[in-house]
Amino acid sequence: MNGHIPFAKPCIGEEEIAAVVETMRSGWLTTGPKTREFEEAFAAAVGSRHALAVNSATAGLHLAIEAAGVQAGDAVFTPVWTFTASAEVARYLGAHPVFVDIDAATLNIDPSRLQEAIVRLEQARKWRPKAVMPVHFAGQACRMDAIVELALDKDLKVIEDAAHAFPTTVSSRSMLNPSSVRRSIGTVGDATVFSFYATKTLATGEGGMVTTEDDALAERVRVMRLHGISRDVWNRYTSDKPSWYYEIIAPGFKYNFTDIAASIGLEQLRKSQIFQKRREEIAAIYTAGLAGQSAFECPITADGNDVHAWHLYVLRLNLDQFSIDRDRFIDEMASRGVSCSVHFIPLHMQPYWRDTYGLEMAQFPVASREFARVVSLPIYPGMTNAMVERIVATLVDVATKYRR
């Protein structure tokens, strides 16, 4: 099979197109009835009491930590292996991210290193420990039982970055329920934030969702996502108050979702189980096809994680078996028509975070080591088995050609 295989491609069908046209003809383009319908459907899908749509996951993280009470001088613990949004939202509030190294097996935050980071900060008395933000990397849940237990012991809020993790499950207690049972990500921490960016497992182009069981936190997010107005636009047209009347009760933000995006989201949500199963099938083909290839390490699914969203399939190169480095490896794949990527460049290697907080490679030995050898392979529902098998063959071809 010839032709270029892109790294990512949204799975948009005629259903999404028809839904957008219907919404455009309705006259509701911004936040309205479709957004409300999408929120209710998403809440039901994850089993959460509240779901609040916003215009990006970054906005959702900002709103969630603000609603959780994070203030200037507070500390928010987050893995160093993440996109910058997980850390930058703390700075929006004058708080500080405290970076934590990762577990080598899953690339998720390491609870033992999190505990060490909390103790160090308590001893230093530099900032006030306030929240922890686990990031469910690639669609696999973090060890939430250990994180929740630690958060409850240290009186920390848990704001989950689930940009990769819909749908995902984990066997864990929650912040409100001591029973350790199988739960959907979106019902474990004080709040959870999902992403609907174009490459995500549920794609609306841009957008995100905040889920929570906490009524007060949900109400704060609801108010702050639209300028601190006491009622959403849609509510103003369905209440006994004049449609022009509103009250500003806080200095909020412009983070609201649109009905056009919601109409796409509803159709994507209806297909979400099919999408997840297809991603799971693709991951299985990769893993089976690379079995016995000592040059590669395939991702694993940790115990207790029944449903893995498989937003990413992150292969690791055993560089001692190659005569080229990771970057050259990706170039070689591209020259053969297969686009790959890297997730993530750890934040201690980014100039702003490195220089602002005096971060060094030695502080994060696992992230520093693993970064040099990770390669994200294409994985999206529109891929055929033939495409996946071609990628496997190409991986083996490059490994054979450049074997040390």
Residues annotated as catalytic are 200
Three-state DSSP state, 204: coil
CB 61 within 8 A of CB 224: no
What is the Cα–Cα distance from 59 to 270, expressed in whole angstroms? 25
| Structure tokens that stand for 258 in this block | 């649109």
Task: Return all residues near 210 (Cβ < 8 A) that are at least 6 apart.
Answer: 50, 51, 52, 54, 60, 63, 64, 191, 192, 193, 218, 221
Q: Which residues, in sequence order, are bridge partners of residue 210?
A: 52, 193
Check whether the bond before 329 is cis (ω within 30° of 0).
no
Burial class (CB in 10 A: 0-12, 13-18, 19+), 358: exposed
Scan for tokens 């906005």, then name that residue: 59
Task: Return all residues near 330 (Cβ < 8 A) that are at least 6 apart.
Answer: 340, 341, 342, 375
Task: Give the alpha-carbon dihedral of 218, 271, 140, 308, to 10 degrees.
Answer: 130
Per-residue CA distances from 211 to 47, 144, 193, 228 (Å) = 9, 16, 7, 19
CB 170 within 8 A of CB 148: no
Residue 234 CA, distance from chain mean position: 28
237-247 exposure pattern, b = at least 16 Cβ within 10 A, e = fewer: eeeeeeeeebe
Scan for tokens 């970055």, then name that residue: 161
CB 72 within 8 A of CB 98: no
Q: Which residues, in sequence order, are bridge partners of residue 162?
A: 194
